[in-house]
Structure 1
Amino acid sequence: MGETNRIGKRKILKELTDLALSADFRELANAQDIYCPFESLRISRVEIRHSNFLANILNPLANHGFGECVLRNLLDKLLTASGDHALRLELALSDLGRIEVFREFHNMDVTIHLPDLTPSLVCIIELKVDAHEHSGQLQRYAENAANLWPNASRRFYLVSPTGMDASHDDWNTLSFSEIVAALKAAYAEPVGSPLAKSMLRAYIDLLRRLFVPDEKMEELARKLWQKHGQTLEYLIDQRPSPMRDISQAVQSEESIAGIIEGISQRTGIEIAKDSSSNTYLRFYIPAWEQDPDMPFGDFTASKSLLVIEAEFYGERIHVRFNLGRGDTSHRESLYERLKASKEVDMGNNKKLTPQWTRLASHTIRRIKNIEELPQEDQDKLVETARSGIVDFVARYLPAYDQAIMAL
């Protein structure tokens, strides 16, 4: 087994080296290796951050120096999408007068109001980065606009990476590529302060990298996946993330020792760390190895069919008893014995599933917008996870231990 692992590691190392030295990889990396202040602030996948920037850069009264330039270019792109060519001409030949730009007004991402036109014009922009429309929100926004500006000419625009279909007939759809085109046109004009132009250029580059198709880059990516698919999947699995950092901190030697000691003090039952990963932290009970059904698992080093498993995945920290993969007859026997005990919490599972049967379980914490989590909050979550694991195991383990050791 050790020699097999060494061969596997050498193969991964060779593939990583080949990938790093590949001309295609260097070209793709150089195209992406551009400093972006918006990404450093983690706004790229957060819709409200896009709304903040767009509302500011569109507002002629803001101190960016663009005046009406960005607004006019974007309005022209929006009205082109909705087929309002007569209105495009009117705007091109008119002094726009007073202009109001709102962000998150009545929950609408960006609202542009031109009250001095006859009739006045209201444009509502709803941005979708990763999410989809929910709970009929487009219809609600259309109704809100009708109530707020009953005499205005109203236009509605749903902007997404691919120009997704809108659920409401009043809404026109655009892709981010069309927004990029409008912003590039504004950037090309001789207006705007140097700092504002630099920020607008960075924002355009961000949108292009994330949301606008690039045939050359896509072809390079396809070639790399075809040649180095397994290596790229390995790199994806190892990518840094706040949840990974929390998991690794919880799995430090000092932290594991504290968890084991806390459980032992509260239950009097010896517990030991089992095979784990960045996603799963597992424990087994050494005394259970004497059970005739227990040592027939094939998914951890202990071979225990029943383990305690903490999961660090997505935006959730979860802990449970897991009757894992292994010999079918022994799994069935162990499951029936646990089920027969009135004290054992079997969770929501009403039957034994073929490979993974999750029994008693508890979500320690759900974390919204985890990618924006400050370091001090990550540190608090590490302690929350540790104490949550101890509390859960101390509550449920005695009943499981009694049922298993009673044989």
Structure 2
Amino acid sequence: MTETRTHLSTLIRSPDLEKISLMLAKPNIFEILRLAHHEIRHSNFLAWLLDPSQSHNLGDTFLKWFLKEVFQDERVSWIDEFDVDGVKTSNITIHREYKHIDLLIEFPDWVVVIENKFGSSEHSNQLARYRKVAERNFPNKPKAFVYLTPHYEEPKSEDDRAVYVNFTYGSVIQLLEQACDIYSSTMPETVLHYITDYIRVLKRYVMQDNDEAVELARKIYRNHKEALDFIFEHKPDRLLEIGKVFSQRVEARGYVLGSKGKGFTRLLTKELDPVVPRESDGGWPNKESFLYEFDYRNKKVSFRATVAPGEQLLRQQIMDILSRVDGVKKPNSKSWSAVYSHSFNYELTSEKFFDEDKLVEVIDKVLDAVEPIIEKTSACLVDGLKNDVDIADY
């Protein structure tokens, strides 16, 4: 018996394979129509949910829940989340592919621009171009810009990060589950099935998290890799796998993990973690004002010591303290400010790092290289935040 045949024989007798077959046999309209991986189809379904005039029987509930989430962000300064309940939604227009913008919600007095991104990365200055399109076509209306991604991916440029509100598919799932819980008795049965199917598709194909079938698929792939490489479509998301290993190596060195993000690992030292202010509403999910972060989404690993958007006096204080360390710069940006950065020519998503031992080895090399600057800047910042100014004043 050949080695390949042995692997295949082991696979077809696996009870885990029977389990996943039963899970996937449950009918799902999005899977049946092969819409799960198509970004444009997700935008179409979201447009249907956001439109109060559609047949989902939610009225403007989902739309207003969505707007409240967006308008609580400090990057939208011209309207407040508490104003949303009083907004009239009977005369709005939901645009699809408006001059290449995925979704645009046009109100009589303002607009909301939504860029829906999954399965491919931002390219060709898309976000900046969409801002210009909105400014040119709606010059007299205030605008909110939303960057919708699976795992809190951030825009590439600092200018875009200062404008676009990060919104995740995890938040979409939360709003939809809330809607099903509250309004299931008033929804048409078919609509309820569509929405529950969509939630399952988001968890399984977009988030690739909190879904039993995906977890079992990953287990089967690890146990039967040779047999599945050419037939199995549910390979583990490489960035999430790298993130898991990266986080383990970071914690093994005694660091504290910071806000999560797909393709990013963020950290603080144990000494710095208790004193870093959590007051950055326009920054990372956990609102840290400062973090060390590794970005491995592209063909290199980028390390940055970054000051988040937020109260300018606090940002200035942090940058002033860090400027005492040799090699640290003092950026002029008023939003995201990388006070130290360094790149390593390792493409962690490449096949050669599928071997976890090799991945661990290169991650440790990167951590070794940046450890001195982390320790120096952390010690300086701990001392400065404790002694220079009372952070409570901010």
Contact (CA 8 Å) 2:4, 2:227: kept in 1 or not?
no
Deviation string 1:16-39 (CA, Å, 9 cap, x unpaired) is 2332x24xx444444444322122
Of 140, 152, 159, the residue aligned with 1:151 is: 140
Calculate percent identity across the aligned residue pairs.
25
Contact (CA 8 Å) 2:37, 2:205: kept in 1 or not?
no
Q: C-alpha separation between the residues in 2 aligned to 1:82 and 1:103?
A: 26
After TM superposition, list the pairs within 5 Å mapping 1:30-109 onto structure 2.
Answer: 30-80=22-72, 87-109=80-102
1:102–1:26: structure 2 CA closer, same or farther, 3 Å change rule? same
Of 160, 163, 187, the residue aligned with 2:180 is: 187
Contact (CA 8 Å) 1:166, 1:172: kept in 2 or not?
no
1:171–1:84: structure 2 CA closer, same or farther, 3 Å change rule? closer
Deviation of residue 104 (structure 1)? 0.9
Deviation of residue 40 (structure 1)? 2.0
After TM superposition, list the pairs within 5 Å mapping 1:248-267 onto structure 2.
Answer: none
Partner of 2:232: 236
SS in 2 for 1:126: strand
Going by fraction, where is helix more abundant, 1 or 2?
1
- The answer on 1:16 being equivalent to 2:33 is no
Partner of 1:373: none
1:153–1:192: structure 2 CA closer, same or farther, 3 Å change rule? farther
Q: C-alpha separation between the residues in 2 aligned to 1:124 and 1:55?
A: 12
After TM superposition, list the pairs within 5 Å mapping 1:314-329 onto structure 2.
Answer: none
Deviation of residue 216 (structure 1)? 6.1
Contact (CA 8 Å) 1:66, 1:193: kept in 2 or not?
no
Deviation of residue 155 (structure 1)? 1.0
Contact (CA 8 Å) 1:73, 1:185: kept in 2 or not?
no
Deviation string 1:342-383 (CA, Å, 9 cap, x unpaired) is xxxxxxxxxxxxxxxxxxxxxxxxxxxxxxxxxxxxxxxxxx
- The answer on 1:161 being equivalent to 2:150 is yes
Deviation string 1:13-71 (CA, Å, 9 cap, x unpaired) is 4212332x24xx44444444432212222222222212222112211122332211221
1:68–1:93: structure 2 CA closer, same or farther, 3 Å change rule? same
Matching residue's letter, 1:195: T
After TM superposition, list the pairs within 5 Å mapping 1:320-399 onto structure 2.
Answer: none
Contact (CA 8 Å) 2:146, 2:165: kept in 1 or not?
yes
Q: C-alpha separation between the residues in 2 aligned to 1:75 and 1:132?
A: 25
Deviation string 1:143-178 (CA, Å, 9 cap, x unpaired) is 111122222221111112222211323212222111
Q: C-alpha separation between the residues in 2 aligned to 1:105 and 1:58?
A: 16
Structure 2, gaps ≥5 residues long? 236-394
Structure 1, gaps ≥5 residues long? 1-5, 240-407
Deviation of residue 232 (structure 1)? 2.5
Contact (CA 8 Å) 1:60, 1:67: kept in 2 or not?
yes
SS in 2 for 1:230: helix
Structure of higher CA gyration radius:
1
SS in 1 for 2:182: coil
Matching residue's letter, 1:143: K
Partner of 1:124: 113
Contact (CA 8 Å) 2:203, 2:211: kept in 1 or not?
no
SS in 2 for 1:98: coil
Q: C-alpha separation between the residues in 1 aligned to 2:211 and 2:198?
A: 20
Q: C-alpha separation between the residues in 1 aligned to 2:5 and 2:90?
A: 68
1:10–1:194: structure 2 CA closer, same or farther, 3 Å change rule? closer
1:82–1:195: structure 2 CA closer, same or farther, 3 Å change rule? farther
TM-score normalised by the chain length of structure 2: 0.51
1:81–1:200: structure 2 CA closer, same or farther, 3 Å change rule? farther
SS in 2 for 1:189: helix
1:225–1:71: structure 2 CA closer, same or farther, 3 Å change rule? same
Contact (CA 8 Å) 2:30, 2:198: kept in 1 or not?
yes
Matching residue's letter, 1:224: I
Which 10-residue stretch deviates more, 67-76 or 80-89? 80-89
Matching residue's letter, 2:104: T
Q: C-alpha separation between the residues in 2 aligned to 1:42 and 1:216?
A: 20
Of 200, 203, 206, the residue aligned with 1:208 is: 203
Deviation of residue 82 (structure 1)? 5.5
Matching residue's letter, 2:175: A
Q: C-alpha separation between the residues in 2 aligned to 1:94 and 1:110?
A: 19
Partner of 1:225: 221
